[in-house]
Amino acid sequence: MQLEFGLICLVLSDILQVKIMGIFQIISLFFALFMAYVVRIHYYRSILSLLEASAWYSLWFLFAVLAVFPDLLQGISDYLHFDRVFDFLIVGAFMVISVLVVRTYFKYREIKITLEKIIEEQAQQDIMSKLHKRNLYKKTLVVSS
């Protein structure tokens, strides 16, 4: 009885695993298509140049191909001594995400500093023009000198 139950569980989990992988592949495919659509929108809004859009299209095309045929990576995966292609993909994805996070952080810091400078300089310019307009600048300097 226990043996039969174990066998049923094994078969079920096997079927389930195949189904999950299948669904995962479909989701990945749709995700790639959606991202390609996002690239298209950005290209038509002139946010991306033709070259940039082409690069992004290629990336998502590659992503879609690998999602449908993950075995294409089997050779590289074996060469790098990964047990499964999935492990290789996870490590690769983690590396890409890490690079993107670090790059985004540096970019964010750069933009933040630039924005602060602009706002602070603008505040100084505004008050100077206000003081000049009201002829207060000269008065201020006389008072303070």
How large is the C-alpha radius of gyration of the chain? 29
Indicate which single residue of 65, 127, 129, 132 sits in contact with another protein (rule: CB under 8 A). 127
Number of continuous H segments (helices) and E segments (strands) in the chain = 5, 0
Q: Which of 98, 123, 129, 132 binds another protein (CB under 8 A)?
A: 123
Integer CA distances (angstroms), 126 to 17, 119, 120, 133, 135, in order: 65, 10, 10, 10, 14
Residues in the chain: 145
Start-to-end CA span in the chain (Å): 101
Residue written as tokens 């001594």? 81
Considering only 58, 126, 132, 138, the residue that binds another protein (CB under 8 A) is 126
Told to check if 49 binds another protein by CB under 8 A, we report no
Nearer to another protein, 16 or 127 (CB): 127
Number of residues that bind another protein (CB under 8 A): 17
Residue choice 4, 5, 46, 145 for contact with another protein (CB under 8 A): 145
> Which residue carries 């039969």 as its tokens?
4
Is residue 102 a contact residue for another protein (CB under 8 A)? no
Interface positions with another protein (CB under 8 A): 116, 119-120, 122-124, 126-128, 130-131, 134, 136, 140-141, 144-145
